[in-house]
Structure 1
Amino acid sequence: MSSTSPQPKSMMRPTQWSEQVEEAYRFQLAGYRDELEYKKFQKTDNVDRWPHNGYVKKLTRRDGCFYYYNKTRECPDKEISKTKIYTY
């Protein structure tokens, strides 16, 4: 990771599900902090999303494999508090 990548000012752990939590969960499952880190690492401006709700559809992992996500919520209740929400 290069030093030019923005570093988060703070991190919080959510207590209930939201679309923001779902977004963070999908990026973190694929091995990234969030969308900013994903775009920097993959050198892309494009994230493959479901057109009807904007949820992440597909991510490239750091090892080059892919994660494919459903159209609906994927973050289970037990994972909500393990998800990290970063602020910059």
Structure 2
Amino acid sequence: MSGTKPNSMSRAKVWTTEVENLFRFQQAGYRDELEYLQIKHGALIDKWPETGFVRKLQRRDNTFYYYSKKRECQDCEIHKVKVYAY
């Protein structure tokens, strides 16, 4: 798992729960959940139980991003989300 690189990247076209969580990881400076776990060495990812959305992420500078249980990735931002394939 260490050093795993994606084979390809595409842009999100429609909003899904996966796109919402990718948006949150990318806002915090990570490619996706896999890269977050590699860099933070298996840190627990706090998620909202009702929605499954990421609740809190630690940035690379060790400050934290806190997220709402509601959708944060608006329609105008969906095309900015990168979806990686491994």
Q: Same fold per TM (> 0.5)? A: yes
TM-score scaled to structure 1, two decimals? 0.91
Q: For residues 14-59 of structure 1, give each alpha carbon's deviation from its aligned partner in whole angstroms, at most 9, with x where no partner exists.
A: 1111111101100000000000000111112410111112110000
User: For structure 1, which runs of at least 5 residues remain unmatched after alignment?
Assistant: none
CA distance, structure 2, for counterparts of residue 16 and residue 26 of structure 1: 16
Matched, 1:75 2:73: yes
**1:66 aligned partner, one-letter code:** F
Structure 1 segments, 4+ long, off by >4 Å, are none
CA distance, structure 2, for counterparts of residue 73 and residue 9 of structure 1: 28
**1:37 aligned partner, one-letter code:** E
User: For structure 2, which runs of at least 5 residues remain unmatched after alignment?
Assistant: none
CA distance, structure 1, for counterparts of residue 34 and residue 12 of structure 2: 19
Q: What is the root-mean-square deviation in Å for CA atoms of aligned residues?
A: 1.0
TM-score scaled to structure 2, two decimals? 0.93
CA distance, structure 1, for counterparts of residue 16 and residue 46 of structure 2: 20
Give the aligned length: 85
CA distance, structure 2, for counterparts of residue 24 and residue 54 of structure 1: 12
CA distance, structure 2, for counterparts of residue 71 and residue 5 of structure 1: 31
Percent of residue pairs bearing the same amino acid type: 52
